[in-house]
Amino acid sequence: MSQAETKDSLKSRGLRLTRQRKILLELIDGSGKHLDAEQLYQMAQKIDPKLNRVTVYRTLKMLKQGGLVDELDLMHQKGDQHFYETRLKGEHAHIICLRCGRVEEFFGDPLQKLRKQVEAHFGFEILITRTEIGGYCSHCQRLRSREFEDVRDSAERPRRKTAKEALD
């Protein structure tokens, strides 16, 4: 969505593209990361020190309600923390490692095919999709494998007797 489209989208809701809104949208879209409200506040403060925390939270809520920003929980890897991304990217799935918390994004035809299947099967008009897939990245798979081996090995080793057991 271009800046003109963003302005039009806000205007259709009776809102203007204020400096604060523009700052937050640019931070969310330009960071390349999934940021929470506090991270956005800290970054926005560096651009506009007059911007306060309440304004950031209100603006995020308004941008979410206006359909310009998505709020994500990313499988609650960080508890109740929520993260934000603009809708500029188009629909995609979030692939989340349940061990290290790494998040990858997947774009592609399979998601569009799934969407079409759901619409056809249920006669459903999809307005938005949010797909999260949890599992283990290749690095964490190797670590888990080693941990399982260590547990198995320690279970197979004979246990040393305590001093009391040796006397009995």
Check: pTM over 0.85? Answer yes or no: no
Contact 47, 31 (CB under 8 A): no
| Contact yes or no for 6/17 (Cβ under 8 A) | yes
Token readout for 111 is 């998601």
Collapsed DSSP state (helix, strand, coil) of residue 33: coil
Name residue 70's amino acid: D
At 135, give phi and psi (nearest 5°): 180, -150
Q: Which CATH number among 3.30.1490.190, 3.40.50.300, 1.10.238.10, 3.30.360.10 corresponds to the domain 90-168?
A: 3.30.1490.190
Length of the chain: 168
- Domain map of the chain by residue range? 1-88, 90-168
Sequential pLDDT tens for the chain (168 residues): 566 676 777 777 777 878 888 899 889 988 888 889 999 999 999 999 999 999 999 999 988 887 888 888 888 877 788 899 887 777 889 999 999 989 999 988 998 999 999 999 999 999 888 889 999 999 999 999 888 887 877 777 666 666 666 666
The fold adopted by the segment(s) 1-88 is Arc Repressor Mutant, subunit A (1.10.10)
pLDDT at res. 118: 95
HSE (CB half, 13 Å, CA atoms) of 168?
Answer: 5
Which pLDDT score, from 0 to 100, does residue 162 have? 66
Residue type, position 148, single letter = F
Distance CA 143, CA 115 (A): 35
Q: What is the separation, in whole angstroms, between the first and last Cα of the chain?
A: 78
